[in-house]
Structure 1
Amino acid sequence: MAHLLGAEQLRVEYPTRVVLDGVTVGIGDGDRIGVVGRNGDGKSTLLRILAGKQEPDAGRVTRRRGVTLGMLDQADALATGQTVLATIVGDRAEHEWAGDARVRDVLAGLVPDIPGDTLVDDLSGGQRRRVALAALLSRDWDIVVLDEPTNHLDIGGVAWLAEHLKRRWPRGQGALVVVTHDRWFLDEVSENTWEVHDQIVEPFEGGYAAYVLQRMERDRQAATVEAKRQNLMKKELAWLRRGAPARTAKPKFRIEAANALIADVPPLRNTVELTQMATTRLGKDVIDLIDVSVAYDGATIIRDVEWLIAPGERTGILGVNGAGKSTLLKLIDGTLQPTSGRVKRGKTVVVATLDQQLADLSSVAHERVSAVIASKRTSYVAGGKELTPGQLLERLGFTSAQLSTPVKDLSGGQKRRLQLLMILLDEPNVLIMDEPTNDLDTDMLAAIEDLLDSWPGTLIVVSHDRYLLERVTDQQYAILPGPDGAGRLRHLPGGVDEYLRLAAQLAAPTGGQDAGRATVASVSGAQSGAGSAGAGSGGGGSAASGAGASAGGPAAASAPALGGAERRAAEKELAAIDRKLAKLQGRVDELHVALAEHDVSDYAGIGALHETLREVEAERDELETRWLELGELLA
């Protein structure tokens, strides 16, 4: 394995503490590294130093000559005054980026809903994040460093990104280093794990599932971690083995050792007991949505929702941004009344929402944590044990010193944990969690999941974190668009995998990635039209009208209008070309690997491989030309 980058004896010290001390790591060709650790332990600092964006206080970073490195930082610094398309493709000529299958795939996967002529200054925070990621991935790098890349991506976007990174380089080439709290994504893309803790970086073989096992073994053998922490990790490991067997099928994961460790671990939740407790607290009627529809300004957002929420039900809600998930949650918590249908609520129902805004903490921002907790209950029962608020705080990662800290001085993750604790101490019996993973590291997510395992109420979770959804909920529903565009609630017996299949079916043949590529084609046409308008009226070809063309805008002025049957045929051909291009690109990658591994003395064999490669590339180029022609026609 060729060495790409190395760091020796790194030390980083801030005024109050040392973050890294004596850290030596290396990155080689073919490495796929996930970085985990508690918030504040130095994960992002390590990435910035490796990328050359921050200088260490001691030590050095060396990079092999000619090695290129691209990094997605959390800052999302984009040049002002530029369009989305210019930000992503740079100064590359149109024929160059439009003929590049990777660029088209990135545009379709990350920004299909953002017109290419939009100024980056006008984008929301989530859109800026996706544009920054697209700009990085549309270029060639030997090393890609990603700091929380799944922020602002929905479940489909996270799945697309994982697949893109897995096939971005031929096997044994390129390197990936990623920090993320999304454990499903981490397990999909990483083959090695670095844990940043106690000023050091400790390497582990395998992805997140393998890391959990090895960390358990480390903690057990060293006997340095308290029994409750070990039990928590054993519980996490038990779920990985029982609830997600595919995740642990990787060759390096030692299944026998895992089975021995979890032999005496009970199931995550006693479903029968929790349901009985929930029925006692809630009664048999919780919240029933009966033939409910909601419309704004004449447009129907969700239609004909029929959902009888049961005591102790634990449900995850899936759907793209804007599908109507927030509308559904507002119907459940009573802040929104339906346009038609009715919402029937049980007499004893008490709903609480853990939202993304932390609004519950604004009124106590200047109070100390201990005072805020003291104003609630003096005890709380979890898992059959009575705990004080202080013990609950400790269970959620707070130290005794932090009890005297004003709420306003807490970190984002600490505020999120305090918000959850305050909600639980109010003892609601229906809990809604809207994107609860924000600002939390993997350890804290595991602690919160453990706490929720013993919570006996009805739990409804909206999250793009696939791991969390599969971990804390027992069933999933999705809001999917119907024929009229309004959202329909649909049960998913097959879970997240079924949702991804349904979303892909709904996107084909003109939606999803194809629609994204059509949007790119229309942007291309708009740029060509602008150029033609600037040059005068004599230019021919298929340029769009320079005055009004934009992404998703009017069709090219010089292109003949397509009839319904002709358009459907063109769309079908475009979809078929997309599929064939993906196969051809895979074949090209395979041939490059075969050439690299072939015996250099076998001239005849090498010559035959080169000839095959030329034929495949020629076929790919011909298809890409046809793809551009169809894109202009459909634009």
Structure 2
Amino acid sequence: MAGRANLLNLEAVTAHVPGDASRVLLDAVSLGVERGDRIGVVGLNGGGKTTLLDVLTGDRPVEGGRVSRVGGLRMAHLAQRDAFPEGSRVRDVVLANYGADHEWASDPRIRDVLDGLGITDIERSTDGLSGGEKRRVALAAALIGELDLVVLDEPTNHLDVEGIGWLATHLIERRCAVVVVTHDRWFLDTVCTRTWEVAGGRVESYLGGYADWIYARAERSRQADAAEQRRRNLARKELAWLRRGPPARTSKPRYRIEAAEALIADVPPPRNTVELMQFATNRLGRTVLELEDATVRIAERTLLDRVTWRLGPGDRVGVVGVNGSGKTTFLRALTGERPLDSGKRVQGSTVKLEELSQELVDLPTGMRVLEATEAVAKYVRFGKQEMTASQVLERLGFPASRQWTPVGQLSGGERRRLQLTRLLMSEPNVLLLDEPTNDLDVDTLSNLEDLLDGWPGTLVVVSHDRYLTERVCDTVVALFGDGRITHLPGGIDEYLRRRESASTPVLSTPAAATPRTSAAEQRAAHKEAARLERRMETLATREERLHQQLAEAATDPSRLAELDRELKDVVAERESVELEWLAAAERAEA
């Protein structure tokens, strides 16, 4: 069929780690992308996923084999890093192929992309954009225009739950082919019709999305186990033959293997909520964390308005909300790091609280990974299961070969995984996780969820990873910007329905109309918003520079501590300024 014509083919393609010919990332790989394919690419960090995408797009030459593309192929590539020309505007990046405004403003597809990604000011300079803003601008540039193939490397980074949902719907409704690397399992399952697994230099192809890939991989593992068992049986029979001579002829064993039954039989039991609740109550008592008549203000905005909220023993709560809604500030209020403006915070006497923040913390750079973990504890208990530090490290992406790596040589993602491992080894009974899925591949995410499933404590998770939130949390609450903590019995689906309903325009009668801001007040608000925007750009630049300095100072603990303190101050100020800017922008448009 012409509609399923091949757009791109790889034939026996080989690629190595740059500068290290002994490490093969792609080993004689052959595969193709057909028109209309939506392919998810999965695999361990460093396994070759980004290399595969760079080979597909031609951004990286191959060391062996051939890449062929159909003539006139219209293709866009969202790379892992977002780099824009110095002094450029958002318009220059996103609308580079369009001249006057009327050439794009009347196109509903372009407006849909800009609105869906929250891009409202196309005249803004790209120099002062935060990492998340740069990502959305680069993604918009990749999605605009008539395309045959879109290649996306981590497009869901920095998008909230709504943004990820919009992107999934957008890609499904488009007619072009898609190849995407992402660690967001819900996104993979929703969008993809085929999955490529990159591992050991090979690329295995599976029909379906994430759930289908997991099933196929489990079935492959079951078959391998069955083959190994048959080999062992043959070895035992051969040994018996040698020991006692030719045996009497016997009937052959009969095997009755049904894949579904075998898989279900090997699945561990679901989380035992009653048992974990009993563990948690024994460890925590009745009082964990409580906010009584609490008010939290950020600049002119009220995050919590006289809220009373209780977190009980064994509660597992997911917190959702748009970017900038105050989720991180809410966690800081729970920990006591951010004092309440009024009201009272109560913490139980037996609470041992730990928080995984979005910022990297100081790590003992003079130690090796296993030593830094065992310095916290050599053993940890998850419910009834006891694990060694080495076992926990392996579950969180540190194989035995990496456990003796000096901490100072770890990448940013590995440092965050080590931070999480040390936190779990300290055996807290209350755990607050702020975006724990950052820099984790799908296998590590699955192992983290498995660990948290058996963790007998109280858990609060802020995450845009819908799959993780729905897997490890029993309750979902939302911050809608109305000063309340809203319980959502219907989970994230209910959150999305409420957000969609709130954004639907409603025609008001003159009697019910909201009083408009005066022209003078609007001009003042515009000036204030512009001033705050410049301040945000300055802080974003400082934040990016501090991240670079942190990476450069990896072997200097005292310098790391100083930079980390400065980074926390900058991040806190930027969040405060962003909320002030939002309030000023609302007044300017009223």
Correspondent of 1:275 among 258, 277, 283: 277
Other-structure match for 1:12: 15
Correspondent of 2:207 among 205, 208, 211: 205
Q: Cα distance, 1:296 vs. partner?
A: 3.2
- Is the contact between residue 302 and residue 324 of structure 1 (CA under 8 Å) also seen in structure 2? no
Provide the TM-score with structure 1 as the length reference: 0.72
How many percent of aligned residue pairs carry the same amino acid?
Answer: 51
Q: Deviations over 1:277-334 (max 9, x none)?
A: 1111111100111121111344323223221101011010000111111111011111
Q: Cα distance, 1:189 vs. partner?
A: 0.8
Q: Structure 2 CA distance, aligned partners of 1:60 and 1:287?
A: 60
Correspondent of 1:52 among 47, 58, 74: 58
Structure 2 CA distance for partners of 1:429 and 1:407, relative to 1, 3 Å: same
Provide the TM-score with structure 2 as the length reference: 0.78
Q: Which amino acid aligns with 1:500?
A: L
Other-structure match for 1:248: none
Q: Structure 2 CA distance, aligned partners of 1:51 and 1:500?
A: 35
Other-structure match for 1:344: 346
Other-structure match for 1:102: 109
Q: Map of 1:197-276 to 2, 5 A cutoff?
A: 197-223=199-225, 258=260, 261-263=263-265, 265-276=267-278
Q: Structure 2 CA distance, aligned partners of 1:500 and 1:64?
A: 40
Q: Structure 1 CA distance, aligned partners of 2:454 and 2:197?
A: 29
Other-structure match for 1:63: 69
Other-structure match for 1:144: 150
Q: Structure 2 CA distance, aligned partners of 1:25 and 1:88?
A: 31
Structure 2 CA distance for partners of 1:367 and 1:506, relative to 1, 3 Å: same
Other-structure match for 2:136: 130
Query: Is there any run of 5+ residues in structure 1 with no aligned partner, and where?
Result: 228-255, 512-547, 554-633
- Is the contact between residue 7 and residue 35 of structure 2 (CA under 8 Å) also seen in structure 1? yes
Query: Is there any run of 5+ residues in structure 2 with no aligned partner, and where?
Result: 230-257, 508-524, 531-588
- Is the contact between residue 381 and residue 427 of structure 2 (CA under 8 Å) also seen in structure 1? no
Q: Structure 1 CA distance, aligned partners of 2:218 and 2:403?
A: 29
Where 1:447 maps in the other structure, the secondary structure is helix
Other-structure match for 1:373: 373
Other-structure match for 2:244: none
Where 2:413 maps in the other structure, the secondary structure is helix
Q: Map of 1:420-439 to 2, 5 A cutoff?
A: 420-439=420-439
Q: Cα distance, 1:78 vs. partner?
A: 1.6
Q: Cα distance, 1:367 vs. partner?
A: 1.7
How many residue pairs get matched?
479
Where 1:151 maps in the other structure, the secondary structure is coil
Q: Map of 1:354-369 to 2, 5 A cutoff?
A: 354-361=356-363, 364-369=364-369
Structure 2 CA distance for partners of 1:225 and 1:212, relative to 1, 3 Å: farther
Q: Deviations over 1:453-492 (max 9, x none)?
A: 111110100000101100111110000122xxxx321000
Q: Map of 1:102-501 to 2, 5 A cutoff?
A: 102-112=109-119, 114-169=120-175, 174-223=176-225, 258=260, 261-263=263-265, 265-361=267-363, 364-482=364-482, 487-501=483-497
- Is the contact between residue 16 and residue 23 of structure 2 (CA under 8 Å) also seen in structure 1? yes
Q: Cα distance, 1:379 vs. partner?
A: 1.6
Q: Which amino acid aligns with 1:454?
A: G
Q: Cα distance, 1:263 vs. partner?
A: 4.5
Q: Deviations over 1:335-373 (max 9, x none)?
A: 011112211111111111112212142xx1232113212
- Is the contact between residue 40 and residue 209 of structure 2 (CA under 8 Å) also seen in structure 1? yes
Q: Cα distance, 1:157 vs. partner?
A: 0.3
Q: Structure 1 CA distance, aligned partners of 2:136 and 2:403?
A: 37
Q: Structure 2 CA distance, aligned partners of 1:183 and 1:61?
A: 29
- Is the contact between residue 111 and residue 131 of structure 1 (CA under 8 Å) also seen in structure 2? no
With 380-389 and 5-14 compared, the bigger mean Cα shift is at 380-389
Q: Map of 1:518-533 to 2, 5 A cutoff?
A: none
Calculate the aligned-residue CA RMSD, in Å. Answer: 2.3
Structure 2 CA distance for partners of 1:380 and 1:338, relative to 1, 3 Å: same
Q: Structure 1 CA distance, aligned partners of 2:446 and 2:71?
A: 41
